[in-house]
Amino acid sequence: MLTKMIRSTTSKYKFGAHVSTKGGVSNSVTNAYNIGCNSFALFLKSPRKWESPQYTTEEILKFKANCEEFRYDPLLDILPHGQYFINLANPDKEKTEKSFNSLLDDLTRCEQLGIGLYNLHPGSSIDGDHQRQLKQLAEYLNKAIKKTKFVKILLENMSGKGNLVGSDLKDLETVISFIEDKSRIGVCVDTCHTFSAGYDLRNKESFEKFWKDFDDIVGLKYLGAIHLNDSKTPYAANKDLHEKLGEGFIGLETFRLISHDERFTKLPIILETPQKDDTGYGHEINLLEWLETVDRSEDSELKAKIQELQQLGEKSRNEQIKKFEEGEKKKANLQAKRAAKNAKTSSKKRAPAGNDIMSRLSRKRAKKEEDN
């Protein structure tokens, strides 16, 4: 298996990673090239604050020149990630307007750079009516689409539950149904989020079932990108904790299946695994391109690699299993206490035996008959 970080010219897939923009957004292009990316992601501005300086004309031109030099098509190969605190499903209008302004700024930056795709976490309905907030989210997306020219917004599926938008595929279907220009909307599927939300991917059968469900509910025509991450937490844990490929609870076979699926050949497939620096992504891109050459799940070299990576992640998995079991135990105890409290409250409200309305009516009729 190759370990050199040379950009593949033979892979059918656009494997890449989320890279640094330190020193200027144009540096993301060279950073991606240096670790062998055939696609890449970046933050358009600081993910930790609402406002950032606008790009200079010089920086925009340098970004475009780098894309041309290193043969990246900004319309199809680059997937910026939106700020995490953008929430267009928030029932608080003032906060939603602030999120919208940040989104619009991001989309404007995309179009300044000639970038055609943009990834967005769809947010949370918080304490609002979930279905009403989904419609609000779509209304703001429609507004943003009308104010921009060409960038396509990809909503990311999420790992949580309850008021978090996108952990249920039906949320994404609902939002898309309200979008007026459907050529400007799509979905980015994150493998960690998918697994943690309760959609299994670990073998051929469950892998195919998920994609059939996705096609039936959302539609494969809306799939615009994939975020490739293993999961640090167990199946259906509803936790967004990424792990290096093969070291988590999903396992390497899922990523081999992705590396052999013709449906994904034209999509940006972006790594977001926990790495010390971008070099770690280069090694994982090499791993994915090697998996592309492994045709059988029974391959002896594949089995050895699976065992090697599982051993590397064993300590972390055991720690997460313990945390998960403790969390489930606390939930069960809390539910039992609530049930006992509700039962006690209900018994207090219940009329004493023989003193309910039917018993009193029966006694009244009996007395009336005696008097007659």
pLDDT tens digits, residue range 194-221?
Answer: 999 999 999 999 999 999 999 999 999 9
pLDDT digits (tens, 9 = 90+) for 320-344: 999 999 999 998 999 888 888 888 7
Give the separation between CA 169 and CA 36, rounded to whole angstroms.
32
Cα–chain center distance at 333: 30
DSSP β-ladder status, 242-243 and 230-231: antiparallel
Whether domain 14-302 has CATH 3.20.20.150 = yes
* Dihedral sign for Cα atoms in the order 125, 127, 130, 134: negative
Q: What is the reported pLDDT for 359?
A: 58
pLDDT tens track of the chain, all 372 residues? Answer: 434 489 999 999 999 999 999 999 999 999 999 999 999 999 999 998 999 999 999 999 999 999 999 999 999 999 999 999 999 999 999 999 999 999 999 999 999 999 999 999 999 999 999 999 999 999 999 999 999 999 999 999 999 888 999 999 999 999 999 999 999 999 999 999 999 999 999 999 999 999 999 999 999 999 999 999 999 999 999 999 999 999 999 999 999 999 999 999 999 999 999 999 999 999 999 999 999 999 999 999 999 999 999 999 999 999 999 999 999 999 899 988 888 888 877 666 555 555 555 555 556 665 655 555
Give the separation between CA 141 and CA 132, rounded to whole angstroms.
14
Q: What is the pTM of this model?
A: 0.90
3-state secondary structure the chain: CCCCCCCCCCCCCEEEEECCCCCCCCHHHHHHHHCCCCEEECECCCCCCCCCCCCCHHHHHHHHHHHHHCCCCCCCCECCECCCCCCCCCCCHHHHHHHHHHHHHHHHHHHHHCCCEEEECCCECCCCCHHHHHHHHHHHHHHHHHCCCCCEEEEECCCCCCCECCCCHHHHHHHHHHCCCHHHEEEEEEHHHHHHCCCCCCCHHHHHHHHHHHHHHCCHHHEEEEEECEECCCCCCCCCCEECCCCCCCCHHHHHHHCCCHHHCCCEEEECCCCCCHHHHHHHHHHHHHHCCCCCCCCHHHHHHHHHHHHHCHHHHHHHHHHHHHHHHHHHHHHHHHHHHHHHHHHHHCCCCCCCHHHHHHHHHHHHHHHC
The residues annotated with a catalytic role in the active site are 48, 81, 84, 121, 156, 190, 193, 227, 240, 242, 272
In 222-241, which positions are buried (b, 16+ CB within 10 angstroms) versus exposed (e)? bbbbbbbbbbbbbbebbbbb
- Calculate helix-pair angle for 130-146, 169-178, nearest 10 degrees: 50
